[in-house]
């Protein structure tokens, strides 16, 4: 060994004391007693309202997002141009991802030639039905005139009956007169025979005139029937016209489906078609997706333990780390009321205005909901400890700490509300009254420990 080795060993021993030797705590500089642990104090519960701050992560979502589908099968005739891209090359002017659109703005137009042909046919049927109405109305006017003519014929025939009756009566009187003359020895039988022949001719004329009246009345009935039929034909033609117009409206409605329009002001977030694509109307992904981005909704899932603290109209402070500037604030607008079965959380939504579009769906946010709870007996948060699954506090009885199980309400980090407690071996709970002496901090205490 080197002759300087003993000195080297002594140096190492001086630098590194032997392991296992107990080191005493260093005395304070002022010469007082060494520090042994937290200072235990005794407090009494005080009635205090607690402001509970619920902090949970959240996500920004579009207020609503709609997938636009084609109702009819057809070819994509054209994709409309985005007005904001008018200075770009022609191939870059189409509406695409990120295009801002207005409500009812046309995004794309489908080409369905057979639908256009059907529309032309339905319009031709309307014109045909209108012509049939005019024709039926003319026929109705002719039938009405025929009724008037037939009624005039009845009048003429009735006049003929009167005339024939007068002739009959005249010759009847002549026969009676000549017959009296023959009885008195005046006149001859030949004249009487001729007069009787005239009477029989007058009677035949009377029967003929009566038959003409019957025929004229029948003609009136026929003309009235023709008039009624003509009126029915007009009604039928009008009904056919309404059917034809309804068909035009139906095809017109189908033609409206050939234009794909934005349902509201928003941004195109997805485009799945190009010019010339054949679409069937059954595409699951849709042709375009449009998101309404003003306002946006912030979705926060609040755990079951704090779900009862959430109320409509409650103020919420939001932290969006990727955005500089002041933290936005909002209010709770709606909740799902029911908890999600899997996560046991309450879906809570806050709406935020987004005129400048700086808030984007998918952004991460941190939400802070503040709820002021009713006043209750409260102790410093440090006075509450944990033993297994139970909350505990230490009552001071006879200058000793007595550990009891506590039933808590809510806390705000500084104070915790305590509802009641149960001593070891007791079966009933004891309500906190404010007269209890409670030792704190609980972390520095043990059951039965002396409390100064």
User: Which CATH number do you get for residue 133?
Assistant: 1.10.287.620
Q: Is 197 part of any domain?
A: yes
- On whether the CB atoms of residues 275 and 78 are closer than 8 A, the answer is yes
Q: Is 53 part of any domain?
A: no
**433: three-class secondary structure by DSSP:** coil
Does residue 219 share a domain with residue 124?
Answer: yes
Does residue 179 share a domain with residue 121?
Answer: yes
Q: Is 59 part of any domain?
A: no
pLDDT score of 19: 33
- Between CA 147 and CA 149 the distance in angstroms is 5
- Between CA 284 and CA 274 the distance in angstroms is 16
CATH number reported for the structural domain that contains residue 368 in this entry: 2.40.30.170
Q: List, in order, residues 6 or more apart from 4 with CB less than 8 Å away.
A: none
Does residue 434 share a domain with residue 365?
Answer: no
- On whether the CB atoms of residues 372 and 51 are closer than 8 A, the answer is yes
CATH number reported for the structural domain that contains residue 431 in this entry: 2.40.420.20
Q: Which domain holds residue 361?
A: 289-372
CATH number reported for the structural domain that contains residue 104 in this entry: 2.40.50
- Between CA 149 and CA 155 the distance in angstroms is 10
Q: Is 55 part of any domain?
A: no
Integer angstrom CA distances of residue 37 from 22, 33, 43, 420, 441: 19, 12, 19, 29, 11
Q: Is 212 part of any domain?
A: yes
Does residue 381 share a domain with residue 367?
Answer: no
Q: Is 276 left (phi over 0), alpha (psi -120 to 50) or beta?
A: left
Q: Where is the domain boundary, 372, 400, 421?
A: 372
Q: What six digits make up the tokens of 129?
A: 């039905």
Q: Is 19 part of any domain?
A: no
Length of the chain: 452
Directed axis angle between helix 189-256 and helix 113-183, to 10°? 170
Does residue 269 share a domain with residue 213?
Answer: no
Segments in the chain below pLDDT 70: 1-38, 185-187
Does residue 264 share a domain with residue 251?
Answer: no
pLDDT score of 12: 30
Q: Where is the domain boundary, 313, 348, 372?
A: 372
Q: Is 62 part of any domain?
A: no
Is the previous residue joined to 441 through a cis bond, with omega within 30 degrees of 0? yes
Does residue 381 share a domain with residue 326?
Answer: no
pLDDT score of 184: 72
pLDDT score of 164: 84
Does residue 122 share a domain with residue 79?
Answer: no
Q: List, in order, residues 6 or more apart from 126 with CB less than 8 Å away.
A: 241, 244, 245, 248
Q: Where is the domain boundary, 372, 406, 427?
A: 372
pLDDT score of 37: 54
Structural domain tally of the chain? 4
Q: List, in order, residues 6 or more apart from 292 with CB less than 8 Å away.
A: 62, 63, 64, 65, 264, 265, 266
H-helix or E-strand containing 339? Answer: strand 329-339
Does residue 411 share a domain with residue 315?
Answer: no
DSSP-derived letter for residue 286 is: -
- Between CA 234 and CA 328 the distance in angstroms is 71
Residue written as token pair 């029967």: 207
Does residue 383 share a domain with residue 365?
Answer: no
Q: Is 50 part of any domain?
A: no
pLDDT score of 8: 31
pLDDT score of 187: 66
Does residue 400 share a domain with residue 431?
Answer: yes
- Between CA 359 and CA 18 the distance in angstroms is 64
- Between CA 316 and CA 427 the distance in angstroms is 42
Does residue 364 share a domain with residue 342?
Answer: yes
- Between CA 268 and CA 261 the distance in angstroms is 11
Phi/psi of residue 294, each to 5°? -140, 105
User: Taking the complete model, does pTM exceed 0.95, yes or no?
Assistant: no
H-helix or E-strand containing 275? Answer: none
Q: List, in order, residues 6 or more apart from 36 with CB less than 8 Å away.
A: none
Q: What six digits make up the tokens of 172?
A: 């009847």
pLDDT score of 183: 78
- Between CA 227 and CA 2 the distance in angstroms is 147
């Amino acid at each position: 060994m080197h002759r300087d080795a003993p000195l080297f060993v002594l140096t190492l021993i001086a630098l590194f004391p032997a392991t296992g030797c107990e080191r005493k705590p260093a005395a304070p500089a002022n010469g007082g007693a060494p520090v042994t642990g937290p200072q235990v104090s005794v407090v009494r519960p005080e009635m205090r309202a607690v402001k509970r701050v619920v902090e949970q992560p959240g996500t920004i979502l579009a207020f609503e997002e709609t997938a636009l589908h084609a109702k009819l099968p057809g070819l994509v005739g054209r994709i409309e141009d985005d007005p904001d891209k008018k200075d770009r090359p022609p191939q870059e002017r189409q509406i695409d991802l990120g295009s801002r659109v207005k409500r009812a703005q046309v995004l794309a137009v489908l080409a369905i030639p057979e639908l256009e042909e059907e529309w032309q046919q339905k319009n031709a049927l309307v014109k045909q039905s209108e012509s049939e109405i005019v024709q039926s109305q003319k026929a109705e006017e002719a039938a009405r005139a025929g009724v008037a003519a037939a009624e005039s014929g009845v009048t003429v025939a009735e006049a003929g009956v009167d005339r024939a009756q007068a002739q009959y009566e005249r010759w009847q009187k002549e026969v009676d007169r000549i017959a009296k003359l023959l009885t008195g020895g005046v006149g001859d039988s030949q004249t009487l025979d001729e007069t009787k022949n005239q009477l029989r001719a007058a009677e035949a004329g009377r029967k003929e005139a009566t038959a003409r009246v019957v025929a004229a009345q029948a003609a009136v009935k026929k003309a009235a029937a023709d008039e009624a039929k003509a009126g029915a034909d007009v009604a039928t033609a009008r009904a056919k016209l309404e059917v034809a117009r309804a068909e035009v409206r139906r095809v017109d409605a189908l033609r409206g489906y050939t234009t794909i329009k934005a349902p509201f002001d928003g941004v195109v977030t997805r485009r799945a078609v190009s010019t010339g694509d054949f679409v069937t109307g059954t595409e699951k992904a849709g042709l375009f997706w449009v998101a309404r981005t003003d306002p946006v909704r912030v979705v926060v899932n609040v755990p079951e333990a704090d779900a009862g603290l959430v109320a409509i109209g409650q103020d919420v402070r939001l932290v969006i780390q990727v955005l500089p500037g002041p933290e936005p604030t909002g209010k709770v607008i709606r909740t799902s009321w029911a908890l999600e079965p899997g996560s046991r959380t309450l879906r809570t939504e806050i709406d935020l205005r987004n005129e400048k579009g700086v808030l984007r769906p998918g952004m991460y946010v941190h939400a802070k909901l503040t709820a002021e709870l009713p006043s209750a007996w409260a102790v410093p948060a440090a006075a509450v400890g944990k033993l297994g699954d139970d909350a505990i506090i230490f009552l001071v009885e006879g200058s000793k700490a007595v550990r009891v199980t506590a039933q808590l309400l809510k806390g705000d980090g500084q104070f915790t509300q305590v509802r009641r407690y149960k001593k070891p071996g007791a079966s009933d709970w004891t309500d906190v009254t404010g007269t209890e002496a409670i030792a704190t901090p609980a972390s520095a205490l043990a059951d039965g420990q002396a409390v100064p």
